[in-house]
């Protein structure tokens, strides 16, 4: 049965840019009010809220480091006070640094583990405590956990932790009618993806998919909107959204 998602309240961490921003706009288009949680770029977060409001939904922007448990708890408090009880939590916040293992900057490794792993657990902990029955939690992994590209070791390892958490959290929330899934995008045309890559690298990676193109943030947002709305019988899964890249 199709779920009417109007009047639902969503939090999108990492919602000011890239895939997260596309997700925030897509959920707003489905009638959900959306809180955009951002790390530092207030201007982009305000622009994302403008897109949410243009879709006819309520939007707010909240600054928080997803790895800071106090800041995340305050963000959830603020959403509940200003918008209402939370139905959907999407954590698209993440960082990526590409280095071969033998050249790995351990400070970069620590940063990725802090944001991508600790941040996932911090957000998931609050979501598990507060989300209403009928709600959905959507985390983010990456198709690189299966594609095994050189230099992606630290990033893929951090997302492997996300994949380990998702089915366990789904079972922990058993009986509450809350779904927990992760989306694992393939190469997607975002600022995060393009950073540090040559055009030759971009073209080569785009050619890995039978679709012969990069994904778009909107491609990924459609998958998230399904999991955050009508996809009630998908639970504890890692959904690979990569155009068939293998």
Q: Which residues are catalytic?
A: 155
What does the alpha-carbon distance between residue 32 and residue 26 come to, in Å, rounded to a whole number? 9
Which residues contact residue 238 at a Cβ distance below 8 angstroms, ignoring those fewer than 6 apart? 141, 163, 166, 181, 182, 183, 184
CB atoms within 10 A of CB 211: 15
CB atoms within 10 A of CB 54: 12
Task: Report whether 76 contacts 10 (CB < 8 A).
Answer: no
What does the alpha-carbon distance between residue 65 and residue 135 come to, in Å, rounded to a whole number? 23
* C-alpha dist (Å) from residue 198 to 73, 172, 194, 201, 204: 40, 43, 8, 5, 10
CB atoms within 10 A of CB 93: 24
Candidates 106, 190, 109, 197; CA nearest to 149 is: 197
Q: Is 151 exposed, middle or buried (0-12, 13-18, 19+ CB in 10 A)?
A: middle
């Amino acid at each position: 049965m199709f779920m009417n998602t109007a009047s639902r309240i969503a939090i999108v961490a990492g919602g000011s840019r890239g895939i997260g921003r596309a997700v925030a706009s897509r959920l707003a288009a489905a009638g959900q009010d959306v809180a955009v949680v951002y790390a530092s770029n207030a201007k982009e977060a305000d622009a994302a809220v403008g897109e949410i409001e243009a879709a006819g939904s309520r939007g707010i922007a909240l600054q928080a480091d997803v790895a800071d448990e106090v800041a995340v708890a305050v963000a959830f408090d603020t959403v509940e006070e200003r918008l209402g009880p939370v139905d959907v939590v999407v954590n698209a916040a993440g960082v990526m640094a590409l280095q071969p293992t033998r050249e790995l900057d351990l400070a970069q490794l620590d940063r990725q583990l802090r944001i991508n792993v600790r941040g996932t657990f911090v957000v998931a902990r609050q979501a598990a405590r507060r989300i209403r029955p009928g709600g959905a939690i959507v985390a983010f992994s990456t198709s690189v956990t299966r594609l095994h590209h050189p230099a992606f070791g630290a990033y893929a390892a951090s997302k492997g932790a996300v994949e380990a958490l998702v089915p366990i959290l789904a079972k922990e929330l058993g009986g509450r009618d809350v779904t927990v899934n992760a989306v694992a995008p393939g190469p997607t045309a975002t600022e995060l993806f393009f950073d540090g890559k040559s055009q030759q690298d971009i073209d080569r990676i785009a050619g890995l998919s039978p679709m012969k193109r990069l994904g778009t943030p909107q491609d990924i947002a459609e998958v998230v909107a399904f999991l955050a709305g009508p996809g009630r019988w998908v639970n504890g899964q890692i959904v690979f959204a990569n155009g068939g890249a293998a």
